[in-house]
Structure 1
Amino acid sequence: MVRGQLLDDLLMGHCRIAQRLPRLWYRRQLAVALLPLLPFSWLFRLIVWARYTLYRCGVLRSYRLSVPVIVIGNLTVGGSGKTPLAIWLVERLSELGWRPGIISRGYGGAVDGVQAVAADSDASVVGDEPLLLARRVNVPVFVGRDRVAAGQALL
C-alpha cells in the first residue's frame, strides 16, 4: 500500500510526497517505496550516457569561456536552494578577491537576446530570481536563453 501511494503521488504531482518521504525514511521503508521508480533511473542513466557520448563524438558541442565557470543547477525546479547557494558563493568568492558574475536563463522573464540586470530592472522582463540576485549581491548579472552569449556579454 505504501508503494502505491508514493507512486500515485509522484505520477499525480501531489506535494504530499514531501511529507511522506521523511516518514518512510525513518521507518526504513523508503527503498521499498522507491522500487517502482528504478526503471526511471535506468532511463535517466541511458539519457545521460547518450548525451555524454554525443559530446565525446563531437555531435553536440561544448563551449569554454576564458574564465572558470561554476554551474549551480539540478533536476528539481524551485525550492532546492540554488539562489541562496549562488548568493553565498558570490559573497565568499568576492571575499577571497575573485570578481564573480552571474548568468541566468532568466526563467519567468521575457528577455530577447542577452540583457544586463540592474536593481531597477523589470522582473517580467529579466525574471524574478536574476533581479533578486542583482539586488542582493554587488556583481554583474546577465540573463539570456543562450547562456554562452550571456557569459560572453558578462565578460
Structure 2
Amino acid sequence: MSVIEKSWYKRPGLLSVLLLPLSVLFWLISTLRVLLYKLNILKAFKAHVPVIVVGNISVGGNGKTPFVIWLAEFLQQQGLKVAVISRGYGGQSDSYPLLVTDETTTTQAGDEPVLIRRRLGCVVMVGPDRQASIKKLEQHDIDVIISDDGMQHYKMARDIECCIVDSERQFGNGLLMPAGPLRETKARLKSVDLVIENG
C-alpha cells in the first residue's frame, strides 16, 4: 500500500490537503460526465436482457465477487440462466472478449472470473470493453447479466445497482480520489437499489 493509500484511512492530514485540488477536479469531471449521460448527450448502450451491476464507490475489492457468486446462485435457483461479465483484472489474453471455459487459466482471465466459472458453471465473459462483452454474451441463451464491478461505467445501462461497502474501512477519510479512496461521493448511495455491508 502506497503512502497516499495509507493516508486515505487516517484523519485528513497535510497530504490529503495537498491533494484536495485534484479531488475537486476529479469531482467536476465525474459530475459533468454523469450529467452528459443523464441528458442523453452521451449515449448509454442497453443489453437485450436485464443487467445487474455489483460495484462500489471506493477503490479496492470490498468483497464484490463473493456477492456476485451468491447472487448468481440465488438467481440460478429461481430457474434463470445467468451470465457474468468482468474486466478480468490481472489477466492477459491474446484477444477480447474472452469466454471463460473450464480450461481457461487465471493468467488469461484473472482469478475472479475463473473462480466464478468453476463455482457456478455459468457463462462468464471477460474484457475491458463491456459493450463488446455483452454483445458476445447475447449470442448465448441467457436471462440476466451480472456485471462484476462497473458502477461508474455509465456507458452501460443497468436495471439494478448493488453497492458493496467494506464494514471495516467504510469510506476512509470520506474524500474523493486522489485525496481519499472514493470514486463517487457518499450521496451516490441514495440512488442505488441495494447497499450491502460486507464483513
Question: What TM-score do the two structures reach when normalised by structure 2?
Answer: 0.57
| Map of 2:106 onto structure 1 | 123
Stretches of structure 1 that go unaligned for 5 or more consecutive residues are 1-8, 21-32
Structure 1, 45-54 or 132-141: larger mean CA deviation? 45-54
Verify: 1:85 aligned to 2:63, yes or no: no
Which residue of 79, 84, 97 maps to 1:114? 97
Amino acid corresponding to residue 146 of structure 1 in structure 2: D
Q: Counterparts in 2 of 1:1-155, with a 5 A limit?
A: 12-14=4-6, 17=9, 33=11, 45-111=27-93, 112-155=95-138
One-letter amino acid of the counterpart of residue 113, structure 1? Y
Write the deviation string for residues 4-37 of structure 1: whole angstroms up to 9, x where unpaired.
Answer: xxxxx995323893xx6xxxxxxxxxxxx35967
User: Which structure has the greater CA radius of gyration?
Assistant: 1
Deviation per CA, 1:68-112, whole angstroms, max 9, x where unpaired?
A: 001112244443011001000001111112111101111111222
Q: Using the alignment, how far apart are the partners of 2:3 and 2:115 within structure 1?
A: 32
Tell me the SS of whatever aligns to 1:101.
strand
1:48-74, CA deviations, whole angstroms, 9 ceiling, x for partnerless residues?
320122213444221001100011122
Deviates more, 1:132-141 or 1:76-85: 76-85
AA of the residue aligned to 1:83? T
Name whichever of 51-60 and 67-76 sits farther off. Answer: 51-60
For the residues of structure 2 that align with 1:94 and 1:77, how far apart are their CA atoms? 29
Which of the pair has the greater relative contact order for Cα pairs under 8 Å at 6+ separation?
2
Q: Provide structure 2 residue ranges, at least 5 long, that are not aligned to the other structure.
A: 139-199
Amino acid at match of 2:42: L
What is the count of residue pairs matched by the alignment? 133
More strand, by proportion? 2
Q: Secondary structure at 1:142's aligned position in 2?
A: strand
